[in-house]
Structure 1
Amino acid sequence: MMTSLFSIFEPSSSIFDIPFNWISSIFGLIFIPYLFWILPSRWSLLWMKIMSALHNEFKNVLSSNQKSSSIVFVSLFSFIVFNNSLGLLPYIFTSTSHLVLTLSLSLPFWITLMIFGWVNYTQHMFAHLVPQGTPPVLMPFMVLIETTSNVIRPLTLAVRLAANMMAGHLLITLMSGVGPSLSTFAVLLLALSQILLLLLETAVAVIQSYVFAILSTLFVSEIN
């Protein structure tokens, strides 16, 4: 019996005291490489077209000397969308609904970016703290505001992804919990609404992966 509504997000399944649910995050490393060893299918060709389109879009956001790093953000999108989609399957642990994973993606990326920017582009980083045209009286406040917004960037990236993935799962769980007490007609309406909500969650899984990747590219483009 579920003691708490949020217990569906707890990595409780374990083997020899090892949290087994987290293995779902690396399933892609097991299955995806097989696409490169067999004849290309329609799904693999479609995936390659999507990756090519994202690669071109990320290159347009990045500056001329950063375009080669777009493959990093394509890989980041692939990893997140795979875990988001995998969490939509029944009895599969949704790793991206936990701040442990999302912060592990955003925080090292932000720290590396800040170290690189302050070491190589120190003057530009200082200039970025004060927007052009700011009155001298407001400059101290603008520095404080820009510094705060810069510091919370990894947290906003992580919370945005985790909260969006958790919200849909909670709503599906709440709606399915009232099923046994409903009439036959109401259960049919509930099933239809659950299907529509699952389609919405599928779209959210893709959109949030794209938002995480494109915001990361925007952070990189501000460095240089």
Structure 2
Amino acid sequence: MMTNLFSAFDPSTNFNFSLNWMSTLLGLLLIPPMFWLIPSRINLLWINIITTLHKEFKVLLGNKTQGSTLIFVSLFSLILFNNFMGLFPYIFTSTSHMTLTLTLALPLWLSFMIYGWINNTIHMFAHLVPQGTPPVLMPFMVCIETISNLIRPGTLAVRLSANMIAGHLLMTLLGNTGSSLSMIMVNFLIITQILLLILESAVSIIQSYVFAVLTTLYSSEVN
């Protein structure tokens, strides 16, 4: 029985350390069968997804940074695996916690900033004032652009964790009411839960794609 509403998302277990965080590595168990000598349909599907992402990220990054798409495709794959693993029963959703999402977003953003300010200082200063800004508004635009730049890792982390925890929380709330409903209402509840599960699957793909694309855009600005 839950002590409060959010105890279902508590990573702690009955042991002295959190075994639920091991769900982050469960996706690795699904990877080896996809790389057999004879390509399977799942393997071909995954190759098509990676190729499509590589072409899209290459357009965003330009031709200056060859090979950088590997980082962002790997980031997309990691988040996608964790999002999907969280849809299975009794598996901890690690991407619904700021501990993981901020750990992914902050080092990437910090490395982009350090690289940009050291190598392209003039370019970074030019980004603070958009083209065509009146001279009167320039000090305000510098403040606004600086603040929007500083909150980028926070917005990346909060967006991913909030979207992942929202659907899971709704499914948990609806599932807890099943024991007190009639048989007809339970059938409606099951249909609703299935629809929510399909929606959560779509959200898992979309949020991992958004995280990877926004990180790619942030890196393209410093070149």
TM-score normalised by the shorter chain: which range applies?
over 0.9
Q: Match of 1:65, SS?
A: coil
CA deviations over 1:60-81 (Å, ceiling 9, x no partner): 1112112420111000000000
Taking the aligned partners of 1:67 and 1:128, their CA distance within structure 2 comes to 23
Taking the aligned partners of 1:38 and 1:5, their CA distance within structure 2 comes to 48
User: Is 1:22 the equivalent of 2:32?
Assistant: no
* Structure 2 counterpart of 1:69, one-letter code: S
Q: Which residue of 2 aligns with 1:131?
A: 130
Q: Which residue of 2 aligns with 1:198?
A: 197
Q: Which residue of 2 aligns with 1:148?
A: 147
- Structure 1 residue runs of 4+, over 4 Å off? none
Q: Please give the residue correspondences for 1:166-185 in structure 2 after superposition, counting only pairs within 5 Å.
A: 166-185=165-184
Taking the aligned partners of 2:30 and 2:203, their CA distance within structure 1 comes to 23
Gap runs ≥5 in structure 1 = none
Root-mean-square deviation (CA, aligned residues, Å) is 1.2
Q: Which residue of 2 aligns with 1:218?
A: 217
User: Is 1:13 the equivalent of 2:13?
Assistant: yes
Displacement of 1:14 after TM fit? 5.3
> Given that residues 34 and 42 in structure 2 are in contact (C-alpha distance below 8 angstroms), is that contact kept between their aligned partners in structure 1?
no
TM-score by length of 2: 0.96
> Given that residues 55 and 74 in structure 1 are in contact (C-alpha distance below 8 angstroms), is that contact kept between their aligned partners in structure 2?
yes
Q: Match of 1:134, SS?
A: coil
Q: After the TM superposition, which of the residue ranges 170-179 and 37-46 deviates more from structure 2?
A: 37-46
Q: Match of 1:3, SS?
A: coil
> Given that residues 27 and 85 in structure 2 are in contact (C-alpha distance below 8 angstroms), is that contact kept between their aligned partners in structure 1?
no
Taking the aligned partners of 1:179 and 1:73, their CA distance within structure 2 comes to 41
Q: Which residue of 1 aligns with 2:116?
A: 117
Q: Which residue of 1 aligns with 2:82?
A: 83
Q: Please give the residue correspondences for 1:21-100 in structure 2 after superposition, counting only pairs within 5 Å.
A: 21-100=20-99
Taking the aligned partners of 1:14 and 1:41, their CA distance within structure 2 comes to 40
User: Is 1:3 the equivalent of 2:3?
Assistant: yes
| Length, aligned pairs only | 223
